[in-house]
Amino acid sequence: MVLVFGTMAGEPREFGPYRLVRRLGVGGMAETFEAIRGGAGGFEQRVCLKRVLPAFSEDEEFVSRFQREAKLAAQLRHTNIVGVIDAGEIDGAHYMALELVDGVDLRSLLKSSPGERLPPDMVALIGIDLAYALEHAHAALVHRDISPSNILLSRSGEAKLADFGIAKAIDNANVTASRNAQGKIPYMAPERMRGESVDGRADLFSLGVVMFEALAGIRPFDGTHDVETMQKILDGDRYSLAQAAPDAPEALREVVEQLIEGDANARMKSASDLLDALAAVAPAPTVRQALAATVEGHRGGPEARLHVRAAEEERDTELSRVPVARSDTSATPAAPAPKQRRARWLAWALTALIATGAAAVVLGTQAGPEKQVGATDTGADTGADTGADTGADTGTDTGAGAGAGTPPPPPSKGLLRVVVQPWGNVWIDGKKSGRAPVKARLTKGRHVIEVGQTRRSQRRVVRVQAGARQEVEFTLSEQ
């Protein structure tokens, strides 16, 4: 008997013809495993096995859509698309087996890069690869869920788009707004938020947001909470790429700015048109080698190429499904009262947001303390990782309450000093913190720092390390 979902220790590793090597992640829709597919004559193939959770497996409408979209996705064969190898049902559990990419997802690479961004020529290369993927795919289906966690970068320097066909199945499933929708909103086209029918131009919008983020280190539409972000997207209220990434070539900035136009008719009409536009900024062939080297460095170099080490395989025996923590809605900032004309789309959008994530995985060993290599974002991107503790918090982590002789817990915050030349005001995570210089004790993680004199004019994302002191300096011209 095969236990498909369980929590007991020693859960069997077999799942039909697949042997589950290690569990990689769990999200609102599915859990993923690195698995080995066996065949005649000792044939073996390593795959990413994505297994639908019981709540979805019992939804007949969702299962029907999932199967239909999986069949369409399986027809896509392109070097820049993560291929579907197999799909079906085993003991009541629906699954997909996908190509396993030896590399890293774009979200992880951005998080580990200086300023959480990449050089413009690398961004142009990634944009070209993904435009080729969309050009091929749009003849059959629309992706509908392009985000950094669904873009995989191989050790050969190729960009591959994952999770085709899943988002449409999720769209009409019986899901409610939850933590699993977080992180997808900033990449969603406005027409989709309004509940309108979408075409390939919605994917182009999402790709434009990704490219903006990779160039600037910030997203173009970035509110303090999801509802505000949605309103910004619908209103076209965004940051200027010329200010956020002045080092990027003007021709590349113009392409990205056109992609994120709120009016679908103002964007490129197709991925083919996008390829034509990107031809003007096509990078040199050596840029792919540079991207490959960057991925290699993130993954630990050539010595870390083994897919699964024996010790790692021995350690990763926990294959049962870990419960997903519920979101703490009490911590969500109160949304401003929406205008009547937005009432319908807000109600729809907050109950129909997708809860999928990367369908393919990337392999390797561990790459730093934040994320285990091989783990997929099967839930969702985390949206604006603001760390919750904003403003100039001058408290200290003293470990109060510890017993006598008990060492204090490690610090959970770091000290950030913001300096503005010649002068200026500072906002941290959307909250005004006063005139620079400003010192703030912030929780570990990513924080948005904005400065300006009469108005906010510069923005930067800073990653705060627990127990560390750091300083960030801005230079402003008189406003």
Residues annotated as catalytic (active site), given as ranges: 145
Residues 6+ apart with CB under 8 A from 442: 387, 389, 390, 393, 413, 414, 415, 416, 428, 464
CA distance 155 to 157: 5
Closest listed residue to residue 446, CA positions, set 86, 45, 107: 107
Q: Give 253-261 contacts, CB < 8 A, sequence gap 24+.
A: 253/215, 255/127, 255/281, 256/208, 256/211, 256/212, 256/215, 257/208, 258/208, 259/204, 259/205, 259/207, 259/208, 259/209, 259/211, 260/205, 260/208, 260/209, 260/212, 260/220, 261/205, 261/236
Q: Which ranges constitute the DSSP H helices of 236-309?
A: 241-244, 250-259, 271-278, 286-299
Query: Shortest CA distance to 188 belongs to which of 175, 167, 202?
Result: 202
Is the distance from CB of 463 to CB of 452 less than 8 angstroms? Answer: no
**Could you give the CA distance from residue 205 to residue 108 in angstroms, rounded to a whole number?**
21
Residue 19 near residue 2 (C-beta atoms within 8 A): no
Secondary structure (3-state) at 101: strand
Facing residues of 425 across strands?
435, 452
Going by C-alpha positions, the residue among 223, 261, 221 that lies closest to residue 239 is 221
- Check: CB of residue 39 under 8 Å from CB of residue 21: no
CA dist 178 and 207 (Å) reads 24
Q: What is each CA distance from 450 to 112, 436, 453, in whole angstroms? A: 21, 11, 11
Which candidate, 137, 31, 135, places its Cα nearest to that of 74? 137
